[in-house]
Structure 1
């Protein structure tokens, strides 16, 4: 491993969720860890290149913009590609509520890998963590806020990445592609099944097996995630956002959004958009 930068945390002020260490590295070809276990939770996020992650007899082929969760005391092995080795960043963490927080962003034993398109934001957070490498009380609070910011970024755009060693995953991958390209329109589960050339019942079984949700739940979750982004980052009307996310009836959209987020779209925008726009303005001034 070359150009590795690591921060180890030994002094802790918090218990719900706390940072144990973080770092970034450019890996040499075939650089690997394991088989071995870790004592804390670790999220690796790939900023360049590719490699493989093995856990529970399952192989995930991962590349730029994707990442993986290592759970404590779970035997894992991961290795950089021999021709295009990955560069990645990582955060190690733990806490009394870590399982709850990971479930909130859809990372757990059933969903160990993910894709997120906010590479620059995640990289900046880790670099800020590495820059604040003394143990003053003010820095402890700053590191804690950066850890929550890392989780916040993941929650905006996290998507599952499926194992690469099961042919049935082909159908799920193609179904997800179809959903992402057509979620703005009226979308029936039969349309998805027809596109991937399997029955609706078989599609349901595959989604439950690999994603732990039904196809309909996945469509709803995807639409609400897109709506959340638009509420945060634009001044589009609720009706326009509703239509943009596949809901022809704004009342149906509002009901679905509240069921997932606990707020109506209007309430959500009032509560969170000011913070978003403040951050955007602040970043633009830098």
Structure 2
């Protein structure tokens, strides 16, 4: 069972939902090696299986979730004796990016585990509500997805807990980036806004997210640019300016370095109405 959305239904919301579905796999069913263009989150309802990427190998069981990152080569396989049954959600956008960071999910730790033994039950109910919803109700789907993301953050074993001063300052810095990425800001502007030293800001980002503030700002701009490219009526020059680049050539160079394709080619390869990758 698969349900698809058109990305333009969610344009400019900061959350793009491409597809979602449910599958009970046969023993040893394998998908990959393959590459995805967006985040692909799986939640395991029953059984077990494994995820393999260049970063490592992970066993995943019922009540856990695993995340595949854009442009990451992965293979995932159902167990030979107790194959998994899972639900999946393919997304991108700033909301998705921030959620997975807060959950502590990255390429080296892609598996979500509940903080409490039975802490996955509420999350499972939200998954079922999402999967049962019609694909022609994008606003409701966005709301359910946000509730699902909130449950992932609040119930995850490795989720960031905003209690320390570092956490508060990190949230403050990220909020500043997400509000001002379209302006000509840099690391010094972020540090000045948070009233902290640049080197301290960099250490804080590296410790919490594994990237520096400069890389985080770039990633935020590139993800938003990718979203804006879904609108075929927007010229590249306008998109460049909208994500903080006054020079279209500079923007195109940065986009190509980040996604291995210049923006014009990316738009041709992934037009708004292109089919999603079949699972």
Length-normalised TM-score, structure 1? 0.52
Match in the other structure for 1:259: 165
Supply the distance in 2 between the matched residues of 1:70 and 1:153 (Cα, whole angstroms).
Answer: 19
The answer on 1:13 being equivalent to 2:14 is no
Match in the other structure for 1:152: 150
Closer/same/farther in 2, CA of residues 83 and 69 from structure 1, 3 Å limit: same
Supply the distance in 2 between the matched residues of 1:121 and 1:31 (Cα, whole angstroms).
Answer: 28
Q: CA deviation at 1:154?
A: 0.7
The answer on 1:95 being equivalent to 2:1 is no
Match in the other structure for 1:244: none
Give yes or no for contact 1:23–1:126 (8 Å, CA) kept in 2.
no
Instruction: Look up the SS of the partner of 2:42 in the other structure.
Output: strand
Match in the other structure for 1:125: 126
Instruction: Look up the SS of the partner of 1:257 in the other structure.
Output: coil
Supply the distance in 2 between the matched residues of 1:260 and 1:65 (Cα, whole angstroms).
Answer: 31
Post-superposition Cα deviations, 1:130-153, rounded to whole Å, max 9, x if no partner, equal: 333142xxx221111111111111
Q: CA deviation at 1:103?
A: 0.9
Report matched runs for 1:112-261 at 5 Å: 112-116=110-114, 117-135=118-136, 139-159=137-157, 257=163, 259=165
Give yes or no for contact 2:55–2:108 (8 Å, CA) kept in 1.
no
Closer/same/farther in 2, CA of residues 100 and 54 from structure 1, 3 Å limit: same
Match in the other structure for 2:104: 106
Supply the distance in 1 between the matched residues of 2:19 and 2:126 (Cα, whole angstroms).
Answer: 13
Supply the distance in 2 between the matched residues of 1:23 and 1:119 (Cα, whole angstroms).
Answer: 19
Post-superposition Cα deviations, 1:2-46, rounded to whole Å, max 9, x if no partner, equal: xxx322111523441122111121111001110111121011111
Q: CA deviation at 1:257?
A: 2.8
Q: CA deviation at 1:86?
A: 0.8
Length-normalised TM-score, structure 2? 0.53
Which moves more between the two structures, 103-112 or 45-54?
A: 103-112
Unaligned runs of at least 5 residues, structure 1: 161-217, 225-255, 263-286
Supply the distance in 2 between the matched residues of 1:152 and 1:98 (Cα, whole angstroms).
Answer: 11
Q: Which structure has the higher relative contact order (CA within 8 Å, separation 6+)? A: 2
Structure with higher Rg: it is 1
Instruction: Look up the SS of the partner of 1:159 in the other structure.
Output: coil
Give yes or no for contact 1:19–1:93 (8 Å, CA) kept in 2.
yes
Report matched runs for 1:31-46 at 5 Å: 31-46=29-44
Unaligned runs of at least 5 residues, structure 2: 169-279
Structure 1 runs of 4+ aligned residues shifted over 4 Å read none
Supply the distance in 2 between the matched residues of 1:155 and 1:260 (Cα, whole angstroms).
Answer: 18
Count of aligned pairs: 164
